[in-house]
Amino acid sequence: MVSLASFVGSFPCVAFSGSRVGSSSAVASCRSFLPVLGGFGGAVGVGCASGVDASVRLAFPSASVFSVSSFPVGGRVCRASFALRSSALVSWCASSGGLLVAFPLGACPAGVAPSSSFRGCGSGSWGSVALAVGLGCSVLVVVPAGAFPAPPALACRFRFVGSAPCGGSLWLSAVAPVQLALF
């Protein structure tokens, strides 16, 4: 049996993705999850948004922050800038052999599938998860208790590994076989 803290601590870096809605269940899950990582000594990457991103930045003030304003399209920040920012964060994590931890707010859109390019079909969190899987990055998704809310093309890459500190469930897609009875 491996603790959540030692599992996450086995990665050189951790990137976070999740809902931008400040009062959401995803943010509450994230806030319950973060104290478990209090001793994490690796690099942390996160976006510039409110919600989950803001909670992570508070917990890890020295985190590398990937800002949407760094990814203008046609000289301005637009919807595509968010996808480019998320792609940069996930690519940074994957190239470092890290772990993406995601706190999506709802079910995954039907068109999302593992890929080497970003395609969230309206969900940045699920788009980041699919990109990470497509790039061969380990991913831990924290969802409310119950079934993994993703289409079969993505869900088949994950397995239930335990209960989250928030009472939800943890689903893992790991690059290397992991012998875990987590948490």
Q: How far apart are CA 163 and CA 42, in angstroms?
A: 24
The token pair that represents 119 in the structure block: 């395609």
Per-residue model confidence (pLDDT) at position 123? 86
Residue 90 is predicted with a pLDDT of 97
**Taking a C-beta distance cutoff of 8 angstroms, is the pair 139, 99 a contact?**
yes
Q: Whole-prediction pTM value? A: 0.92
Domain count, the chain: 1
Q: Is 16 in a helix, a strand, or coil?
A: strand
Q: What is the pLDDT of residue 1?
A: 55
CATH number of the domain where residue 141 is located: 3.40.50
Which domain does 115 fall in, by range? Answer: 4-173
Residues 6+ apart with CB under 8 A from 56: 16, 30, 34, 44, 46, 63
Find out whether 52 and 18 touch, Cβ atoms under 8 Å.
yes
- Rounded to an integer, what distance in angstroms lies between the CA atom of residue 8 and that of residue 100? 10
| 182 is a domain residue | no
Q: Which of 177, 171, 96 is nearest to 139 (CA)?
A: 171
Predicted local confidence at residue 12, as pLDDT: 96
pLDDT in tens, the chain (183 residues): 578 888 999 999 999 999 888 788 889 999 999 998 888 899 999 999 999 999 999 999 999 999 999 999 999 998 899 999 999 999 999 999 999 999 998 888 898 999 999 988 878 899 999 999 999 999 999 998 777 888 999 999 999 988 888 888 899 998 754 545 554
Give the Cβ contact number of residue 41 at 10 Å.
7
Q: Does 19 map to a domain?
A: yes
The pLDDT of residue 176: 56
Instruction: Let me know if residue 94 belongs to a domain.
Output: yes
- Predicted pLDDT at 167: 80
Residue at 122 is within a domain: yes
Assess if residue 146 is contained within a domain.
Answer: yes
Task: Kindly state whether residue 181 falls inside one of the protein's structural domains.
Answer: no
- The answer to whether residue 50 sits within a structural domain is yes
On whether residue 149 sits in a domain, the answer given is: yes
